[in-house]
């Protein structure tokens, strides 16, 4: 088979489409013939050497995608050959074939195509737990969403609006802010004005919740939350935040909580139930994934360069 590989850390052009050994499934694993793969900034960070990579070069990136079961697991009847499946957290997805644990497989309904699954499983399940687990969003709450034109951000805006939340989205360009408004946000502003905009929108009280995936913006996020408000920290796209003085939290009765999808997807049935709920939101039109671009997986270097340009609005897919 072929895979998108790299043998040294560096810019996008270290990625090459090459022959690679076929995966050898272990116990309770299937082999999936890939159809669509989701590209995430974590892939960029790993390619740059900022995230840990196990094993020796050549490495294969990718954790999220969808395809068809080509080799079934011994003794399993739920996922026979030909079953359409997706997954959000299985390594080595940037390849024509991937060995996937049975417990990580998510069956795809007939009305959820491969591109949709690859576009929403990781980021959609992330947005889902942000509005149900990290902070229970309610009608009339005011939420501030960082990176609101990103893959998670656009889905998060839509889920919040479906709950009746007032949403202020933050995005870095006019085109991105237009996309945030199109997703349903009540207002969208740039990074130079968002703290004042949050205060204006709330009559000076501050937001009930601020979703921060940027990291370096955490002090401003805490300042933009109302007394008794919550800041959900779930990413660090611009780097690690500075330490937070607990006295600040005490003085304003603030809650600062972290969020990580893997602490929520604790087993096979949980991930399938949550994925089914996400698919139902798509089916009902509550959530509409926005695909920024599709690139053949063999052209993955171009896709990485595009994602790093920060021009993408929505999800970048790698297709086979």
SS3 sequence, 95-124? ECEEEEEHHHCEECCCCCCHHHHHHHHHHH
Query: Is the pLDDT at 105 greater than 80, yes or no?
Result: yes
pLDDT by residue (tens digit) across 6-20?
A: 999 999 999 999 999
Mention every residue, 6+ apart, whose C-beta is less than 8 A from residue 132. Answer: none
Q: What is the phi/psi pair of residue 78, to 5°? A: -75, -30
Mean predicted confidence (pLDDT) in 52-80: 94
Task: State mean pLDDT over 76-83.
Answer: 97
pLDDT recorded at residue 259: 82
Average pLDDT, the chain: 95
Position 271 scores a pLDDT of: 96
Residue 237 has pLDDT above 80, yes or no: no
Q: Is CATH 3.30.565.10 the right assignment for the domain spanning 139-258?
A: no
134-190 pLDDT per residue, tens = 999 999 999 999 999 999 999 999 999 999 999 999 999 999 999 999 999 999 999
Q: How confident is the model at residue 73 (pLDDT cuts 50, 70, 90)?
A: very high
Give the whole-angstrom CA distance, residue 32 versus residue 82.
9
Residue 269: predicted pLDDT: 96
pLDDT at 219 over 90: yes
Asked if residues 67 and 107 have their Cβ atoms less than 8 Å apart, the reply is no
Residue boundaries of the structural domains of the chain: 2-120+265-319, 139-258
The Cα angle at residue 62 between residues 280 and 14, in degrees rounded to 5:
145
Confidence (pTM):
0.93
54 — pLDDT class (breaks 50, 70, 90): confident
Across 163-206, the runs of DSSP E, i.e. the strands, are 166-170, 187-189
Q: Report percent pLDDT > 70 for the chain.
A: 100
The superfamily in CATH containing domain 2-120+265-319 is: Medium-chain alcohol dehydrogenases, catalytic domain (3.90.180.10)
Cα separation, 194 vs 205, in Å, equals: 14
- Return the pLDDT at 101: 98
By the 10 Å C-beta count (0-12 exposed, 13-18 middle, 19+ buried), 91 is classed as: middle
Judged against a pLDDT cut of 80, whether residue 42 lies above it is answered with yes
pLDDT in tens, 263-310: 999 999 999 999 999 999 999 999 999 999 999 999 999 999 999 998
pLDDT of residue 220 exceeding 80, the answer is yes
Sign of CA dihedral 206, 209, 214, 218: positive
CA distance 161 to 73: 41
Given a cut of 90, whether residue 51 has pLDDT beyond it is no
């Amino acid at each position: 088979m072929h895979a998108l590989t790299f043998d040294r850390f560096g810019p996008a052009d270290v990625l090459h489409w090459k022959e690679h050994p076929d995966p050898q499934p272990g116990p309770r694993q299937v082999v999936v013939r890939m159809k669509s793969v989701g590209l995430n900034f974590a892939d960029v960070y790993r390619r740059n050497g900022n995230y840990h990579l196990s094993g020796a070069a050549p490495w294969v990136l990718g954790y999220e995608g969808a395809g068809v079961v080509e080799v079934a697991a011994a003794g399993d009847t739920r996922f026979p050959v030909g079953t359409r499946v997706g997954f959000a957290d299985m390594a080595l997805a940037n390849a024509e074939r991937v060995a996937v644990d049975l417990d990580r497989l998510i069956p795809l309904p007939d009305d959820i195509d491969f591109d949709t699954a690859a576009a929403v499983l990781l980021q959609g399940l992330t947005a889902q737990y942000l509005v149900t687990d990290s902070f229970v969003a309610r009608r009339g709450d005011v939420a501030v969403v960082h990176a609101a034109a990103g893959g998670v951000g656009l889905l998060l805006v839509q889920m919040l609006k479906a709950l009746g939340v007032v949403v202020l989205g933050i995005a870095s360009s006019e085109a991105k802010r237009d996309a945030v408004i199109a997703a349903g946000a009540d207002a969208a502003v740039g990074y130079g004005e968002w703290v004042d905009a949050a205060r204006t929108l709330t009559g000076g009280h501050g937001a009930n919740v601020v979703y921060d995936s940027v990291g370096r913006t955490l002090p401003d996020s805490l300042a933009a939350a109302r007394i008794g408000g919550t800041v959900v920290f779930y990413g660090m796209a611009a780097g690690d935040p500075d330490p937070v003085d607990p006295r600040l939290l005490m003085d304003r009765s603030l809650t600062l909580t972290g969020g990580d999808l893997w602490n929520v997807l604790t087993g096979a049935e949980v991930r399938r139930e949550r994925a089914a709920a996400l698919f139902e939101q798509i089916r009902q039109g509550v959530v509409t994934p926005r695909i920024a671009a599709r690139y053949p997986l063999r052209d993955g270097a171009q896709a990485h360069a595009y994602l790093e340009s920060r021009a993408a609005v929505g999800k970048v897919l790698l297709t086979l």
